[in-house]
Amino acid sequence: MIATVGAPAPVRVPTPRLDDYVASQTFDKPTLVIDVDRVETQFNALKAGLGEAADIHYAVKANPAREIIQRLVKLGSHFDAASRGEIELVLSQGAKPSDVSFGNTIKRASDIAFAWNAGITLFSADADEELEKIAENAPGAQVYIRLIVEVSEADWPLSRKFGCDKGTALRLLDYAKDLGLDPIGFSFHVGSQTRRAEMWQPTLGALAEIWHAARDAGHDLTLLNIGGGFPAFYGEAIEAPTSYAARVMELIHAAFGEVPRIMAEPGRGMVAEAGVIVSEVLLVSRKSDRDMHRWVYLDIGRFSGLAETEGEAIRYQFETAKDDDPTGPCIMAGPSCDSADVLYEKRPMHLPLTLKSGDRVLIRNTGAYTSTYSSVCFNGFPPLDVVVI
């Protein structure tokens, strides 16, 4: 079970269907195995907590496997698309254009026109020029303005790349009207891997001031897009998805009051725990007789799916057949000839002392942002294979 706050963190979330499949197969390259039934379980759990007041717009970038999109379409999910390719994908799997938002604030003009002609009417923006592109290529479209989040308690706060401040946001609402667009609300992202619902409170308090200022200025706001941030288990205790989502909604209503329409964009919280990567040890070594830590090299690294180890922000859980043996700290790295391809060094991982070349290593809860981060063929290593069961 997923741990609640204050309870000891479990070793891992039970995944018997995944475990049985992986145990019965051999793999000749790093492979992500996804249990689509587990995705459905997470969707239903989050939906139960969000209630009827919020629509789930699955963040397709987290994992665009067709089988996942197909299942979510059947469940009635909506979708957040970041590109023309993601729009084409979800529409091809049966999503209705009215259930898709073009949520990237940095869009090619021709892609805006494509989305508009495909029937998509909801777009994001955080700058004058983006609104101008939307007005020219999707005249009369609905838009929401993305707000910058400068107060975040997430494990991985988002950078200043996206969003705008209060003054700019209020001005952009006026400018959107001048351009003939329909500005209906705001969006934000609290930060990836926000482990406890209470961590949303400082962000919500700051952004609610902008919401109320816009309404006081005469803007009839009807949409609040709360983005992602819903967590997955990476070794530290997190709240169960239903209670987590329900508490987030309580905090939103306390800060913003009644909001006619709320969008949530879970990605990691929907698919991470549905996946496991099957990898293999390529080498275990020490750099000298004085080296305090072993180096453990896997057949997968930062360029083949584990990009979120950047800054050691995401701490994946590793499992081997030798986990009952004595363990010791080790530095973990990928197989490529790039010196940046090191996964964990500042905080070494503890793995069995008996680990050696050829041993299988399972990397748990890797269903999100692994296959999409995998390079095409860096150093000639194959991209991460994906199997959906």
Q: For residue 159, what pLDDT is reported?
A: 61
Average pLDDT over residues 228-253: 93
User: Range with the lowest mean pLDDT among 56-65, 154-163, 196-205, 297-306?
Assistant: 154-163
**Most confidently predicted of 59-73, 181-195, 235-249, 300-314:** 59-73
Helix (H) / strand (E) element for 31: namely strand 31-34
Residue 153: pLDDT band (50, 70, 90) is low
360 contacts 351 by C-beta, under 8 angstroms = no
Residues 229, 191 contacting (CB under 8 angstroms): yes
The number of CA neighbours under 13 Å toward the Cβ of 174 is: 8
Residue 12 has pLDDT above 60, yes or no: no
Give CA–CA dist 286/385, Å, rounded: 30
- pTM greater than 0.95: no
pLDDT recorded at residue 6 = 38
Q: For residue range 185-218, what is the model confidence (pLDDT) as tens digits?
A: 999 998 878 888 998 999 999 999 999 999 999 9
Four-residue CA torsion sign, 262, 60, 144, 110 = negative
pLDDT given at position 9 = 43
For the chain, the distance separating the N- and C-terminal CA atoms, rounded to the nearest angstrom, is 21
pLDDT digits (tens, 9 = 90+) for 91-127: 999 999 999 999 999 999 999 999 999 999 999 999 9
**320 φ, ψ (degrees, to nearest 5):** -135, 170
Q: What average pLDDT score do residues 219-247 get?
A: 93
Q: Does the pLDDT value for residue 43 go beyond 80?
A: yes
Amino acid (one-letter) located at 99: D
Provide the β-strand partners of residue 351: 328
User: What DSSP line would sit under 151-201, residue for residue?
Assistant: ----SB---TTS-B-HHHHHHHHHHHHHTT-EEEEEE----B---SGGGGH
Task: Please name the residues in contact with 14: beta carbons below 8 A apart, sequence gap of 6 or more.
Answer: 1
d(Cα 299, Cα 87) in Å, to the nearest integer?
Answer: 33
Report yes or no: 186 and 210 within 8 Å, Cβ to Cβ.
Answer: yes
Burial label, 118 (beta-carbon count in 10 A; 0-12, 13-18, 19+): middle
Asked if 316 contacts 367 with a C-beta cutoff of 8 angstroms, the reply is: no
β partners of residue 386? 32
Tokens of 73: 């379409």
Q: In the predicted model, is pLDDT for residue 4 greater than 50?
A: no
CA distance 360 to 381: 18
7 falls in which pLDDT band (50, 70, 90)?
Answer: very low
pLDDT tens for residues 257-289? Answer: 999 999 999 999 999 999 999 999 999 999 888
Q: Which of 137-151, 188-202, 213-227 has the lowest mean pLDDT?
A: 188-202
